[in-house]
Protein backbone atom coordinates (compact mmCIF):
# COMPACT_ATOMS: atom_id res chain seq x y z
CA UNK A 1 0.00 0.00 0.00
CA UNK A 2 2.83 2.35 0.88
CA UNK A 3 4.53 1.63 -2.46
CA UNK A 4 1.32 2.41 -4.32
CA UNK A 5 0.99 5.73 -2.49
CA UNK A 6 4.58 6.77 -3.38
CA UNK A 7 4.08 5.84 -7.05
CA UNK A 8 0.82 7.79 -7.11
CA UNK A 9 2.50 10.86 -5.56
CA UNK A 10 5.32 10.67 -8.13
CA UNK A 11 2.79 10.48 -10.95
CA UNK A 12 0.90 13.52 -9.61
CA UNK A 13 4.16 15.45 -9.19
CA UNK A 14 5.21 14.66 -12.79
CA UNK A 15 1.82 15.71 -14.13
CA UNK A 16 1.86 18.99 -12.21
CA UNK A 17 5.46 19.69 -13.28
CA UNK A 18 4.74 19.11 -16.99
CA UNK A 19 1.51 21.12 -16.87
CA UNK A 20 3.24 24.08 -15.20
CA UNK A 21 6.13 23.85 -17.69
CA UNK A 22 3.64 23.84 -20.58
CA UNK A 23 1.74 26.85 -19.19
CA UNK A 24 4.94 28.85 -18.59
CA UNK A 25 6.36 28.08 -22.05
CA UNK A 26 3.03 29.01 -23.71
CA UNK A 27 2.98 32.36 -21.88
CA UNK A 28 6.59 33.08 -22.87
CA UNK A 29 5.77 32.35 -26.51
CA UNK A 30 2.73 34.65 -26.46
CA UNK A 31 4.66 37.51 -24.83
CA UNK A 32 7.46 37.18 -27.39
CA UNK A 33 4.94 37.46 -30.20
CA UNK A 34 3.44 40.60 -28.68
CA UNK A 35 6.80 42.39 -28.63
CA UNK A 36 7.77 41.49 -32.19
CA UNK A 37 4.34 42.25 -33.70
CA UNK A 38 4.83 46.02 -33.41
CA UNK A 39 5.67 47.20 -36.93
CA UNK A 40 8.64 49.53 -37.23
CA UNK A 41 7.97 53.14 -38.19
CA UNK A 42 9.21 54.33 -41.61
CA UNK A 43 8.54 57.34 -43.83
CA UNK A 44 9.73 58.88 -47.09
CA UNK A 45 9.26 62.64 -47.56
CA UNK A 46 9.86 64.86 -50.57
CA UNK A 47 12.23 67.67 -49.54
CA UNK A 48 12.45 69.62 -52.79
CA UNK A 49 14.23 69.92 -56.11
CA UNK A 50 17.42 71.70 -57.01
CA UNK A 51 19.63 71.53 -60.12
CA UNK A 52 17.29 69.00 -61.78
CA UNK A 53 17.57 66.65 -58.79
CA UNK A 54 14.76 65.52 -56.50
CA UNK A 55 15.61 65.15 -52.80
CA UNK A 56 13.85 62.63 -50.57
CA UNK A 57 14.31 62.07 -46.85
CA UNK A 58 13.91 58.54 -45.51
CA UNK A 59 13.41 58.05 -41.78
CA UNK A 60 13.28 54.62 -40.20
CA UNK A 61 12.91 53.85 -36.49
CA UNK A 62 14.74 50.58 -35.85
CA UNK A 63 14.57 50.23 -32.05
CA UNK A 64 16.01 46.70 -32.08
CA UNK A 65 19.01 47.86 -34.18
CA UNK A 66 18.49 44.87 -36.48
CA UNK A 67 19.96 44.72 -39.94
CA UNK A 68 17.66 46.10 -42.67
CA UNK A 69 17.89 46.62 -46.41
CA UNK A 70 17.03 49.70 -48.45
CA UNK A 71 16.44 49.44 -52.18
CA UNK A 72 15.43 52.16 -54.64
CA UNK A 73 13.90 50.97 -57.91
CA UNK A 74 12.93 52.85 -61.07
CA UNK A 75 9.66 52.37 -63.03
CA UNK A 76 11.00 49.25 -64.79
CA UNK A 77 12.15 47.67 -61.53
CA UNK A 78 15.84 48.32 -62.14
CA UNK A 79 17.79 48.82 -58.92
CA UNK A 80 19.14 52.36 -58.59
CA UNK A 81 20.43 51.99 -55.02
CA UNK A 82 20.90 49.19 -52.55
CA UNK A 83 22.22 49.40 -49.00
CA UNK A 84 22.39 47.44 -45.75
CA UNK A 85 22.13 49.30 -42.43
CA UNK A 86 21.54 48.60 -38.75
CA UNK A 87 21.05 52.12 -37.32
CA UNK A 88 18.55 52.59 -34.51
CA UNK A 89 17.40 55.93 -35.93
CA UNK A 90 18.07 55.94 -39.66
CA UNK A 91 17.75 59.31 -41.43
CA UNK A 92 19.19 59.67 -44.93
CA UNK A 93 18.63 62.03 -47.86
CA UNK A 94 18.55 60.55 -51.35
CA UNK A 95 19.03 62.72 -54.46
CA UNK A 96 17.69 61.37 -57.75
CA UNK A 97 17.46 62.85 -61.25
CA UNK A 98 14.17 64.68 -61.84
CA UNK A 99 13.44 62.86 -65.12
CA UNK A 100 13.41 59.47 -63.39
CA UNK A 101 9.58 59.14 -63.46
CA UNK A 102 8.27 56.58 -60.96
CA UNK A 103 10.48 55.59 -58.04
CA UNK A 104 9.90 52.90 -55.42
CA UNK A 105 11.62 52.97 -52.03
CA UNK A 106 11.69 49.57 -50.28
CA UNK A 107 12.68 48.91 -46.66
CA UNK A 108 13.04 45.22 -45.86
CA UNK A 109 13.92 43.53 -42.60
CA UNK A 110 16.02 40.42 -42.09
CA UNK A 111 14.49 37.19 -43.39
CA UNK A 112 11.60 39.25 -44.87
CA UNK A 113 9.87 39.66 -41.48
CA UNK A 114 8.58 42.99 -42.70
CA UNK A 115 8.63 45.04 -45.86
CA UNK A 116 7.48 48.58 -46.48
CA UNK A 117 7.21 50.16 -49.93
CA UNK A 118 6.82 53.80 -50.90
CA UNK A 119 5.98 54.56 -54.52
CA UNK A 120 6.66 58.08 -55.81
CA UNK A 121 5.51 59.30 -59.21
CA UNK A 122 6.85 62.52 -60.66
CA UNK A 123 4.99 64.59 -63.20
CA UNK A 124 6.20 67.81 -64.77
CA UNK A 125 3.84 70.44 -66.05
CA UNK A 126 4.85 73.57 -67.89
CA UNK A 127 2.63 76.54 -67.32
CA UNK A 128 2.99 79.39 -69.75
CA UNK A 129 1.37 82.70 -69.24
CA UNK A 130 0.43 84.93 -72.14
CA UNK A 131 -0.43 88.52 -71.51
CA UNK A 132 -2.11 90.58 -74.28
CA UNK A 133 -2.33 94.36 -73.90
Count of other CB atoms within 10 angstroms of residue 62: 19
pLDDT of res. 112:
61
State whether 52 and 4 are in the same domain. no
pLDDT > 70: percent of the chain: 68
Residues 67, 20 share a domain: no
The total number of structural domains in the chain stands at 2
Q: Average pLDDT, stretch 42-57?
A: 89
Are 122 and 98 in contact by the 8 Å Cβ rule? The answer is yes
Question: Within this chain, do residues 58 and 45 fall inside the same structural domain, yes or no?
Answer: yes
Kindly state the percentage of the chain with pLDDT values over 90: 27
Average pLDDT, the chain: 75
Is 87 a member of any domain? yes
What global pTM score does this model have? 0.62
Q: Which of 27-31, 90-94, 124-128 has the lowest mean pLDDT?
A: 27-31
Q: Is residue 127 part of a domain?
A: no
27 and 5 assigned to the same domain: yes
* Closest-CA residue to 49 (of 96, 106, 100): 96
Same domain, yes or no, for 24 and 53?
no
26 and 77 inside one domain? no
Do 12 and 5 touch, CB atoms closer than 8 A?
Answer: no
Q: How many alpha carbons lie under 13 Å from residue 33 in its C-beta half-sphere?
A: 6
Domain shared by 115 and 61, yes or no = yes
Residue 33 has pLDDT above 80, yes or no: no
Same domain, yes or no: 58 and 98: yes
Which residues span the domain enclosing 113?
41-121
pLDDT at 114: 80
pLDDT value, residue 110? 78
The rounded distance, in Å, linking the Cα atoms of 107 and 83 is 10
**Kind and range of the H or E run holding 2:** helix 2-36
Residue 12 belongs to a domain: yes
pLDDT of 109 > 80? The answer is yes
Amino acid sequence: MKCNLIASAKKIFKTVFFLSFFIVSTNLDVSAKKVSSVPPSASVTFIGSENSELSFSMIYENEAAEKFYITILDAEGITLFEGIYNDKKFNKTFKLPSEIGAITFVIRGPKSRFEKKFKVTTEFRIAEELLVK
